[in-house]
Amino acid sequence: MIHGNPFDLFRQECRAALVSAITKTFPSANIPIINLNKTPDIELGQLASSLSFELARKLDMKPSVVAEQLVEAIDKSRFDLIAKVSTAGAGYINFYVNFPRFSQLTLESVKNNDKSYGYIKTEKPVKIIVEHTSVNPLHPIHIGQARNPMIGDALACILKLRGHDVSTHYYIDDVGRQSSVVAYGYEKLGRPKPTEKSDLFVGKIYTVTCCISEINRLKKAKEQVITTQAVDDIAKIGKELDEWIAIADELKEKHSTLFEMLTIKISEDENPEEEINKLNRRYEDGEPVAKQLVREVSDLCLDGFRQTQAKISVTYDSWDWESDFVWSGQVTEIMNNLKASPFIYFKNGVWGFDADKVAKQLQLKPKLGMKENHEIPQLTLMRADGTTLYTTRDIAYSIWKFQCAEKVINVIGMEQSLAQLQLKLAMYALNYNKEADNFVHFAYNLVALPGYKMSSRRGHYITFDQVLDEAVERAYQEVCKRSPMFSEEEKRSIANFVGIGAVRYALIDVDPSKQVLFTWDRVLNFETNSAPYVQYTHARACSIIRKATDNTIAAPAYNLLAEKIEQEIILQLACFPDMFIEATEYLKPFMIADYVNMLADKFNTFYNAVSVIKAETLELSSTRLVLTDAVRTVLRNALALIGVVAPERM
C-alpha cells in the first residue's frame, strides 16, 4: 500500500471512526467539527480528540461518559491503521496506530515516491510572484541583507513544489537620490572600469561621494543658519557635520586615492547637492544622457550581485527596473487616479495620501488586524519639485505585478512594514480590492553580528561574499580534520556545499519575526541544529546503505520495528507531507529547518542505540536498512526545499 501522505490517511481513519461512533451512539446530535491533535508522546497514542467536551455540553452529559460511549462504539476491525482507541483524562479520546501496518505504509510510500515524497500538490494552484532581495544597486549585498534572498528562494521553491505557478522577481530601485549620488561620483571619475568585483567598486564610489556631498551640503546649511542666529539649528547641523567629518577621516584612510580624486572633481561644482538633484530630476524625466549614466553604473553593481547570487544558486525570472514604470507613464497614471479619489490632499506644494482615511472609510482596520483607534501615518506621494517617492512608484509596480499573477508576495524587511501597509491601502483606494487582499508583505527581522555595527554610509558592512567565503574556508578546515583521507578536490567540493549550506540554513531556521544572531559557533556546528549537522547525518545514512551487501539483505519484516525510537522515526517520516503543507500554506520555511534537525536528532539516537547491518537477525537488519534509506530520502527532500545540498559523503 502506498500513499502520498501516510499520517493523513491515519487521521482520516480516526475521523471516520468518530463520525461513525457519533452517528451510532448519539443519532440526534449534530456532528461537530472534528479536530485531531498529535500527542506529545507515542505512549499516549498518536492522535487525540477533545470533541467529547463539545458533545457533552450539547447532550448535558459528562465528557468522560461521552468519551467512553464513543470509544465503545468504534469498530476497529473496519480500519487498517487503528490499533487501539482509549479514553484519557476527563474526556479525551486517544487513537493508537497499528505500527506494523503503518510502518509498511510509510516506508514503502517513501521508497516508491522517492524524490517526490512529501511534496503534496494543492487542489487550487494559482499564479504567484515572489519578489525578493531587491537590494539597491549602490553597494555589495551585505550580511544584514542576506536573509532576504535565502527566505525568498525557499518560499519560491516550496510554493512551486506545492503546485503553484511561481515566478521570482527582482525590483531594481534605480530612481531616487541615492542612485543619483553614485552616478554623479562615477561620472566625476570619468566612468572608470572596475578594478575589482564591480559591486565593491560601485560601493566605494557611493560611500565616498555621499560623504563629500553631505559635508558640502552641511557647510552651506551652517553658513545660512548662522545668519539667522538660530542656535538650536546651528547646534544640530554642527553635530551632523562633525559626524560626517569623522566618517571622512575613516574613508580617507581606507580609500585615500579615491577620496582625493573625488574631492578634487566634486570641488569643481559650486553646489554638488544641486547637481545631484538635477541628475535625479533628469533621470526621472527620462533624459537620455542621464538614463545612460545611471543605468550604466547600476548595471555594474547588478553584475556583482549576480556573481554573489551564483554562489548560492539563486536566480530570478524577471529583473524589473523601477525607472521603467516612471518612463512608461504608469506612475503618472497612478498619481492621476489617486488625485481623483477622496484620499489625496495637496499642501505646501506636496501631494500626500491619507492612509488612515482609507482604512476608516472602507472599514479595513479589523480586516488588517488593527484597532480602530490606531492611526496610520500619512504618506507623501510627490515632492514640490515634481519627483515621486519610492512607495508611489511601488504602487504602480505592484499593480503591474497583479497583471502577471493572482498573488504577490513581497519579501521585505520589517522596517518597511508601514510603507507596505500604505501601499496596500493605496490599492484599496484605487479599487484594486481583490489584488490588495492577495498582496502579502513577508516581513523579516535583521541579521546581527555580535560586536559589529553596520553602517552603509560609513562603508561599515561585512559583505555577503565575505561571509560565504569564510564559511567555505572554515568548512574546509573542519573537513580536513574529520576526513583527512579525502583528496584535495573532494575536500574543496565538500567544503563548498557545507559552507554555503551552513549560511543558507542559519538564515532560514529562525522565525522571521526574530533577529538572526550570526555566530560561527552556531552556523558551523557539526553536533546539532545546523546544515553541517543534518548533512553529516544524511551522509551517515548513505554510508550505512553503501556498506550493506547482498548477503545482508532479506525481505523486510515491519513488525520488527518495535523500539520506541524506531516508531518515533516512522512517525516523523510519515508527518513530512503534513509539515510541507503547513510550511507552504502559512509561508513558514523555518519549519523545514526545524523538521530536518529533529529527524536528524532521532536518526542519530537510533544509530547510537541499535545495530543496523549487524542486527540480531537478517530480517531485522534488512528492515532497519529500509528505515535508514527512508531517512536518507526524506532528509534529502527536505533539505532541497531550503536549497541545501544533501551529500553522500562528508
Tell me how far apart the terminal alpha carbons of the chain are, to the nearest angstrom.
35
Q: Quick check: 304 pLDDT over 70?
A: yes
Q: What is the mean pLDDT of the chain?
A: 94
pLDDT score of 550: 65
* Per-residue pLDDT reduced to its tens digit, 175-217: 999 999 999 999 999 999 999 999 999 999 999 999 999 999 9
CA 134 to chain centre: 14
Say whether pLDDT at 480 is over 80: yes
Q: Which domains does the chain have, with CATH numbers?
A: 6-97 (3.30.1360.70), 127-172+319-448 (3.40.50.620), 177-312 (no CATH), 464-641 (1.10.730.10)
Which residue pairs, CB below 8 angstroms and at least 24 apart, start in 343-346? 343/429, 344/381
What predicted TM-score, i.e. pTM, was given to this entire model? Answer: 0.93
Q: What is the pLDDT of residues 371-420, one digit of tens each?
A: 999 999 999 999 988 889 999 999 999 999 999 999 999 999 999 999 99
**Does pLDDT of 335 surpass 90?**
yes
d(CA 191, CA 214): 21
Q: Are strands 379-382 and 350-353 parallel, antiparallel or unpaired?
A: antiparallel
User: Rounded to an integer, what distance in angstroms lies between the CA atom of residue 81 and that of residue 98?
Assistant: 5
3-state secondary structure of 170: strand
Query: Are residues 145 and 183 in contact, defined by beta-carbon separation less than 8 angstroms?
Result: no
